[in-house]
Amino acid sequence: MRNPLGRNPVSLRGRRAAVLATGLSATLVLTACGGGGGSSSGSGGSAGASAAPSGDQPTVGLITKTDTNPFFVKMKEGATAEAQKQGVQLQSFAGKQDGDNESQVQAIENLISAGAKGFLITANDSKAIVPSLDKAKQAGMLVIALDTPVDPADAADATFATYNFQAGQLIGQWAKAKLGANAAQAKIAMLDLSANGVSVDVQRDQGFLTGFGIDVADKNTIGDESDPRISGHALTQGAEDGGRTAMETLLQKDPSINLVYTINEPAAAGAYAALQAAGKQNDVTIVSVDGGCPGVAAVKAGQIGATSQQYPLKMAQEGVAAVAQFAKDGTKPETTAGKTFTDTGVNLITDQPQTGVESKDTTFGQQNCWG
């Protein structure tokens, strides 16, 4: 899902506030549950019509950040198929871009009014959405976070997600192993998501740095580390054009960058385009998170060195099944053993395996990708 510049934490926070102040407005989208497809992150939105709920079918909601990013398209596909299997009515909502909390608030209000039994949500703002989640729970609804944990996590009844810290940690470990002795001289560009402090954004960023062996200071804060190997952080909104602009800005600041972390693969595509335009694409390693089919293809082509693959179809399927079960007998889902959420899995995808870092090749990645 994910982007102001600079390593100085005061400056970073100031610039993030400026970005936020521009207003990330988006339109609310309600689409028919029988429609086509509807991820870790993206932009765009479209309008649609809602199918009228069947009188004897429980209503389940799906609220994603957008309905155009392939990650969320696959999530909607999984939710739609599982809703048909479970005999429930799906109502899906999405906004134009990441960061649009207000549309998600309105979507929850609509679901409460519709008497929905519960909903799945990928939160645009992990903290700001909590009062609406509380209201839904007071109305007797089951609230399930998908992909993006809310803050506090127990504001949702359950979370079905990738272990995003691990996803970041895997690409950090891989990058450190690939650079070998040169890791001590790395110059790292951090292409993050947004100014909202979304948990996915924070966890992937901090996981990558931890995997690379960099002290993150406060693990809940992006940009407060002091390691000189970090050339800077920039925001991408999880989009290709944002990734290109962010990469161009950081290259102007430090032309010696040789390693790029990106919040997701659309941002990675933009970063690669900027590097290619600067004639630096062969001198810089890019790592990312998502595992979408275009991203896996970029790994195979050598544009991305490694990516952590996650599974949005599985998240949505399990989430809808959980709400359907709750509607039947009030049972709430259990967490994965040893974790506070339901872990839907992650695999490192690369054709350049490194000793001590477990990975799968792009053949596996292509067999399990989405988008």
Chain segment 114-147, per-residue pLDDT in tens: 999 999 999 988 899 999 999 999 999 999 999 8
User: How many Å apart are CA 79 and CA 318, to the nearest integer?
Assistant: 8
Of 5 and 253, the one with more pLDDT: 253
Query: What angle separates helix 101-114 from helix 130-138, to the nearest 10 degrees?
Result: 10
CA torsion sign for 238, 267, 38, 31 is positive
For residue 193, count other CB atoms closer than 10 A to its CB. 30
Q: Which residues contact 233 (CB under 8 A, 6 or more apart)?
A: 3, 4, 5, 6, 7, 12, 190, 191, 192, 205, 222, 223
Confidence tier at 287 by pLDDT (50, 70, 90): very high
What is the per-residue pLDDT for 55? 58
Confidence tier at 38 by pLDDT (50, 70, 90): very low
- For range 351-366, the mean pLDDT: 98
The whole model's pTM is what?
0.76
